[in-house]
Amino acid sequence: MIETKGLKFAYPGYSEVLRGIDLTINDREFVAIMGENGAGKTTLVKTFNGLLMPTAGTVRVDGVDTRDSSVARLSRDVGLVFQNPDHQLFSETVREELAFSLRNFGYKEDTIERRVATILETLDLARYAESSPFVLSGGERKRVALAAVLVWNPKHIILDEPTIGQDYQQKDRLRNFIIQLNAQGKTVIIITHDVEFVAECKPRIILLSKGLVIGDRPAEDLLTDGQLLEKASLTRPQIGQLMHQLRDFGLPERAIDVYSAEQAILQALRRKR
Amino acid sequence: MSSIQDISITVSPGEFVVLTGPSGCGKTTICRCLNGLIPNFYSGDFIGELLVDGMNVKDHTTAELAAHVGMVFQNPENQLFSLSVERDVAFGPENLGLAREETRKRVDWALDVTGITDLKDKPPYELSGGQQQRAAIAGVLAMQPKVMILDEPTSFLDPKSALEILEVISDLNERLGITIILVEHRLDIVSKHANRVIVMDSGRIVLDGTPRDVYGEHARLIGIGLPRVTTLFNLLQRDGFEFPQTPTTVDAAADVLRKMLSR
């Protein structure tokens, strides 16, 4: 469980990025943190693994105050995948990159080899095992960065903008993969602007704006609240826009993904006949 | 780095082209060819010919080509480096060796077109992501290129800023006649503006036409993300409903459904 109480954070000499955040994210939850550029999303998750310490208030991870722990200790439980893979990757080959953290955690070589092989397969990276991460495309590098964190099997996984630069099929795979991780008992927290992605996987959405939580509701509720979306510089997902335009024809605004919209339209058309 | 093969295309002045396709299909490689980074900066086998605004990219430096082809990247932070927006926007024209007054004129114009005149004295790192991308576009615009290549310019932005940037780009195309080549996965948000969509797969061009022509079954199979409304109509068609045309935008879809539901 990740719990914040009165969490404030400011970089030295700057105004507060986080201005008092009270949140509880339970084990096995699937959460999306959304909000405008500069709302404080990345800063918030950096307090979850101890990269940043609160300037006021507390963050507790599985009951332990992050001040009483260390990044090294917290990282074992809280895996953070950065938005920009180039801030994370440094090894000469993808295989080495994935083995690095496991070596640091003191795993045996044969365990390392097995885990790396599994994760390469799972994330469709096996063919790049011996390549340098830096010759891969942006989307591929992002998958390597994700693999490099998943490989040590943290209990809580945070993905900062995982869909950027991913094509449609990769997003599809990523969605299934996230849902699967979540079903396996992981807490999954994604930071994203991608309203389409969120409309399809329907997590709990925590909406940040200017360092405060301004909304905390299921995806179908939050992505249909025009006023709240406007406040956080978000838009309705495309299907949500369509349903909103057709609300006077008895179509449900909460149908925000293609399949629920299809069912709703079929029903409405059948009623006509 | 992916390779590209058998690419034969002509993009005419004033077109708004969306270049899309699965990750690693060669979109960025093509962009790098268009401004001469390939073959002048990146090594590799470059076979065939590429003319940009009449100039053969092999015979001209990237610096020369930069006055004709502007390039905007995903992350504006990587493109901005000066201490003020104005300095950043002036960097290109100054390096073209233009007279002071001409540089001045171009910078003011570029700031105006992108709507950031008010921000000219601010350091780029104090700007929001959307404002930073406007500044990056202004910097390119100040070179007065005929062609602008934008490689997923909105992917780091929140949805509202993304739409605003697309409006800026569309404006450059419609008002100033700048040819736009926009690399984008998210066809939901760009279809409204594009008059041509080129789909690549494994280093080749596999589809090339208007959005409506291109968003068919083949495009779905190679895994490009059709606009959600197009996918919805494909499903409804499968359910036995007939439509004269498959919509590619929300407004068009709403029109079709409104008619069907009020019959």
* Torsion sign, CA atoms A36, A17, B130, B223: negative
Nearest by Cα to B136 from B116, B158, B162, B160: B116
Cβ contact A167–B223 (<8 Å)? yes
Contacts of residue A68, defined as CB under 8 A and 6 or more positions apart, other chains included, come to none
CA dist B64 → A146, B69, B102 (Å): 39, 9, 18
* Chain B residues touching A140 at Cβ < 8 A: 23-24
* Chain B residues touching A249 at Cβ < 8 A: 257-258, 261-262
* Chain A residues touching B231 at Cβ < 8 A: 258
B135 touches A at CB < 8 Å: no
- Residue B133 is classified by DSSP as H
Cβ contact A242–B253 (<8 Å)? yes
Three-state DSSP class for A165? coil
Q: Which residues of chain A have pLDDT under 70?
A: 273
**B47 to chain A nearest CA, in Å?**
21
CB pairs under 8 A between A and B: 126
Strand runs (DSSP E) across B73-151, as ranges? 147-151
Alpha-carbon gap, residue A37 to A230, rounded angstroms? 13
Three-state DSSP class for A4? strand
First to last CA, chain B: 54
Q: Which residues of chain B have pLDDT under 50?
A: 1
Cβ contact A233–B188 (<8 Å)? no
Cis ω before B39 (30° cut-off from 0) = yes
* Chain A residues touching B163 at Cβ < 8 A: 235
Task: Write down the pLDDT at residue A235.
Answer: 92
Cβ contact A238–B250 (<8 Å)? yes
Helix, strand, coil percentages, rounded to 5, for chain A: 45, 20, 35
- Residue B117 is classified by DSSP as G
Q: pTM for the complete prediction?
A: 0.84
Query: Looking at this predicted complex, what is its ipTM?
Result: 0.84
Chain B segment 64-123 residues within 8 A of A by beta carbon are 74-75
Cβ contact A196–B254 (<8 Å)? no
Helix axes B250-262, A238-245, angle to 10 degrees: 40
Task: Write down the pLDDT at residue B189.
Answer: 87
A4 touches B at CB < 8 Å: no
A40-62 residues labelled b (16+ CB within 10 A) or e (exposed): bbbbbbbbbbbbbebeebebbbe
Alpha-carbon gap, residue B226 to B152, rounded angstroms? 16
Contacts of residue A148, defined as CB under 8 A and 6 or more positions apart, other chains included, come to A81, A88, A89, A97, A98, A100, A101
Nearest by Cα to A54 from A96, A23, A85, A91: A23
* Mean of the per-residue pLDDT values of chain B: 90
- Give pLDDT tens digits for B128-163: 888 999 999 999 999 999 999 999 998 888 888 889
**A65 to chain B nearest CA, in Å?**
32
Helix ranges (DSSP H) in chain A = 41-48, 71-77, 94-104, 109-122, 138-150, 168-183, 195-201, 219-222, 226-231, 238-245, 258-272
* Chain A residues touching B74 at Cβ < 8 A: 138, 164-165
Task: Write down the pLDDT at residue B262.
Answer: 86
* Chain B residues touching A173 at Cβ < 8 A: none
Beta A204-209 vs A212-218: how paired, if at all?
Answer: antiparallel
B223 touches A at CB < 8 Å: yes
Is the distance from CB of A58 to CB of A38 less than 8 angstroms? no
Is the distance from CB of A27 to CB of A33 less than 8 angstroms? no
Task: Write down the pLDDT at residue A186.
Answer: 95
Task: Write down the pLDDT at residue A213.
Answer: 97
**Bridge partners of residue A93, in order along the sequence:** none
- Give pLDDT tens digits for A31-51: 999 998 889 999 999 999 999
Give the number of other CB atoms < 10 A from CB of residue B97: 7
CA angle, corner B132, sides to B130 and B135, nearest 5? 115
Contacts of residue A187, defined as CB under 8 A and 6 or more positions apart, other chains included, come to A2, A25, A26, A27, A28, A29, A30, A31, A155, A156, A157
Provide the residue type at A60 as one letter.
Answer: R
Q: What are phi and psi of B155, to 5 degrees?
A: -70, -20
A86 touches B at CB < 8 Å: no
